[in-house]
């Protein structure tokens, strides 16, 4: 339980390193968690090889969803779009350093992945398993 | 006069889900989110609220504990 509000998560929530927007952005995705009202947008700059050269997020939500967004955006810079499509729920939880999370808070933690994947696949993401 | 013991509130320094989770640690049970009243939250332009619902099973001591719990939340996020 205590690891849910570990120092890393609180630090990324209070002092996000990648909050903001990119102008111009090559790809920009936005989605929300309708159950709790969290909103998130992720902007990406991608080079001709499909490698993410820069990324930012913006939105509002709880500590878990915002820390998750900051960690995910930090993680994807330098990676290839094809690689990102394979990013899983476990990858995000590993970034957060969380092993177990209840179903409600899991939605918070995975909003960033939902936005990222929804954008990469060009659809509103419906798959619960991501 | 209207009396109600269900109090929905927001804190400018912490999101309702974080508030609820931290109160849960102190064994204080509240609800967080839209409480099946999303249009009302839109109306007040708040993303979500925390709700403490008191009833005959609660006493003054529970209210004191809620306040202590909220102080803990403030120490964490404030």
Instruction: State the Cα–Cα distance between residues A50 and B41, nearest whole angstrom.
Output: 40
Measured CA to CA, the distance from residue B34 to residue A51 in angstroms comes to 39
Query: Domain-by-domain residue ranges, chain B?
Result: 6-77
CB B67 within 8 A of CB B7: no
Contact B22 A5 (CB under 8 A): yes
Q: What is the pLDDT of residues A53-79, one digit of tens each?
A: 999 999 989 999 999 999 999 999 999
CB contact under 8 A, B18 and A61: no
Identify the H or E element spanning B49.
strand B49-53
Does the domain at B6-77 match CATH 3.40.50.300? Answer given as: no
- For A1-130, list the strands marked E by DSSP: 27-33, 38-46, 52-60
Catalytic residue among B1, B2, B3, B36: B36
Token digits for A49? 């090889």
Single out the residue of B77, B78, B75, B73 nearest to residue B30, CA to CA: B73
Mutate to test the interface with A, among B10, B13, B15 (most CBs of A within 10 A): B15
Residue spans of chain A under pLDDT 50 = 1, 124-130
Please tell me the distance from the alpha carbon of residue A14 to that of residue A117, in angstroms, as a whole number.
Answer: 25
Domains of chain A plus CATH, in order, are 2-120 (3.90.1010.10)
Q: Check whether B16 has a pLDDT greater than 80.
A: yes
Q: Which residues of chain B make contact with A37, given a CB cutoff of 8 A?
A: 33-34, 38, 41, 47-48
- If you measure CA to CA, which chain A residue comes closest to B37? A35
Has B36 been annotated as catalytic? yes
Sign of the CA dihedral running B37, B43, B48, B53: negative
Per-residue pLDDT, A3: 64
Question: B69 touching A, CB under 8 A?
Answer: no
- A62/B18 touch (CB, cutoff 8 Å), yes or no: yes
The structure's pTM equals 0.83
B56: confidence class by pLDDT, cuts 50, 70, 90: very high
- Position A38 scores a pLDDT of 87
Of A36-40, A119-123, B2-6, B37-41, the one with minimum mean pLDDT is A119-123
- Closest partner CB to B17 (pick from A1, A34, A108): A108
């Amino acid at each position: 339980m205590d690891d849910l509000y570990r120092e890393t998560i609180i630090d990324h929530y209070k002092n996000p390193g990648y909050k903001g927007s990119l102008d111009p952005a090559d790809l920009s995705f936005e989605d929300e968690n309708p159950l709790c009202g969290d909103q998130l947008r992720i902007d990406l700059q991608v080079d001709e090889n499909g490698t993410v050269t820069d990324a930012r997020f913006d939105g509002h939500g709880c500590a878990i969803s915002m820390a998750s967004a900051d960690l995910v955006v930090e993680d994807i810079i330098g990676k290839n779009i094809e690689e990102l499509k394979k990013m899983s729920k476990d990858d995000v939880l590993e970034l957060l350093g969380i092993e177990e999370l209840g179903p409600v808070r899991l939605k918070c933690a995975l909003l960033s992945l939902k936005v990222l994947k929804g954008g990469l696949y060009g659809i509103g993401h419906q798959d619960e398993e991501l | 006069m209207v009396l109600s013991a269900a109090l929905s509130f927001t804190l400018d320094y912490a999101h309702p889900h974080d508030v609820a989770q931290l109160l849960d640690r102190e064994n204080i049970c509240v609800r967080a989110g839209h409480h099946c009243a999303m249009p009302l939250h839109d109306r007040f332009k708040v993303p979500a609220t925390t709700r403490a619902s008191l009833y005959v099973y609660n006493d003054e001591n529970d209210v004191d504990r809620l306040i202590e719990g909220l102080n803990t939340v403030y120490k964490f996020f404030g």
